[in-house]
Structure 1
Amino acid sequence: MKQVVLKHALAARPCADDFALVEVDAPVCPEGGVLVRVVHLSLDPYVGSRLRGKHMGEPAPRPGVDAIPGAAACQVLESKAAGIKAGDWVHAMEVGWREVANLGPGTFRLLNPKTAPLAAHAGVLGMPGLTAWAGMTQLAKVGPGDVVLVDAAAGPVGGTVGQIARIKGAKRIVGIAGGAQKCALVTDTYGFDACIDYKEDGWEQALSEALPEPPTVYFENVSTEMASKALMRLAAYGRMVLCGLVDQYHADQPPPGLNAGLIVGKRAQVMGLVVYDFYPLWDAFVKEAGTWIADGSLVFKEDRAIGLEAAPALFERLMHGQNVGKAVVSVSPE
């Protein structure tokens, strides 16, 4: 069995050469758990921080030993879990970059393969989608009349945030993304009303022009610097959801914080989003979002690679923001 490991401990943003594909003994099915083949593996930005032991207190994988962390949609090969049989489909967060995995009791969820394409469970119905849904429906509680501003709008979280906001009745949705290709994805595929390219000169003026009414909801997924720029434009009593702050994942020291005076002046509600808190609602989210996918109101785009050996190169692209769509590795065929 193959899996991907680190060649050495990391001190900086990971690149493809930091990983190695190695042969290991196949795992055995644990009591009360399942043995699965990994089919669609999710690559996520937070893993870059986790590889350095800087994510939510979770330890870094041991070089040469532990598989790189990753969530995946998998098919059951052998089961010792009640109600689960060989051939069933499951999703788990701690699968890892490997071909076969053993999942202990309580670490996986049964999937209905008819809900949506199976790869969607690594993205729009996986942790990125749950994050977006939690931010919009459980924290910001977006509804009719809201004006929503979304940073990193071309990403799997940001793109889903805007679509859910639209489904829930928001009257205008504006995204911020980097580059013409990503902005086109935001407007043409995800259906935002406008997308501002922050790499273009004069983008802040363009952002103000795209928001004739101040945003009532802001979803931040990149940096406190961008959050501060959005906060200046936020409506009084607006809601700000802070999620991710990707620019801090590879920084040795956190950047300067938000302007507290602006928060007070705007009477803003600032809410931190940790998706782990919403895992108990995952099935409820999938049930609701599955209907949106079926009727075409929720769409998604993938940046997909084939084969476990392709994971390091795609992950390097993800670490530099060069992916367009959700980064997914199809480790084995469905």
Structure 2
Amino acid sequence: MERSNHTVTEFILLGFTTDPVMQLVLFVLFLGVYSLTLVGNSTLIVLICNDSRLHTPMYFFIGNLSFLDLWYSSVYTPKILMTCISEDKSISFAGCLCQFFFSAGLAYSECYLLAAMAYDRYVAISNPLLYAQAMPTRLCICFVIYSYTGGFVNALILTSNTFTLDFCGDDVIDDFFCDVPPLVKLACDVERSYQAVLYFLLASNVICPATLILAFYLFIIAAVLRIRSSRGCRKAFSTCSSHLISVTLYYGSILYIYSCPSSSYSLERDKMVSTFYTLLFPMLNPMIYSLRNKDVKAALRKLFTLAQSEV
């Protein structure tokens, strides 16, 4: 028996487990991860805003990435925490739609922003003497605006196409958030036009930025190879290492999930990967960009010194 999605009023999010003890363990774990995400990204934003040494294009992009991660994690985590401790696992149709839209918009925006950061690293390494002129503030702001605009416009296309599907039978999402694969599993019939939209969005929002990043890193490698001193080579690579780690982790998990969103959907496997890029990645980013960064460490020490002196 088919029914159109206009009759759907809510979905049921099964989450990770039905075991009450494990649900409590997961609640504590996810609460800890979310707390670290909030503290880490907020601290990085405050440092970048307050320390003049961090007023450069690279840190401008890192600050925006932290802002994205704060917002991105907050789209998922509060509902996940409620699902862990509450017997009510439902999410309204409108709530599911909003979660879906914002998660897609932020994910796509992050893809574009990581590509802009790769271009920034290419300019910094290939032409360091003219770096400030080649990456003016106006251009950096334009990159960020384009990232958000492109991300949310494409998210609007994805959301409007997904939530006009006809959903059949039980409205049970065997996952912890509203995402493409579990929603497609609930659809009565997925037309080829919808599959075409998914592949178009995958290509334009994930594969194209990933290809640009790969191209910029090939140019970076070529520029580094022209550096004669080994110290200069190490310094050049160290400026890219954090970004490269971030790109590898983020794009790897995204491509793994969305390359074949319907036919190859494996529930338990994809839940684990989804957990990484929705919960763990936003927590890891501040660590990736600060642990090996002398400027951030110096700014953090300065902030602690000022705080202690005021006390």
Sort the TM-score into its range (normalised by shorter chain).
under 0.3
Larger Rg: 2
**Higher share of residues assigned helix:** 2
**Which structure is higher in RCO with an 8 Å CA cutoff and minimum separation 6?**
2
- TM-score, with normalisation over the residues of structure 2? 0.27
Q: TM-score, normalised by structure 1?
A: 0.25
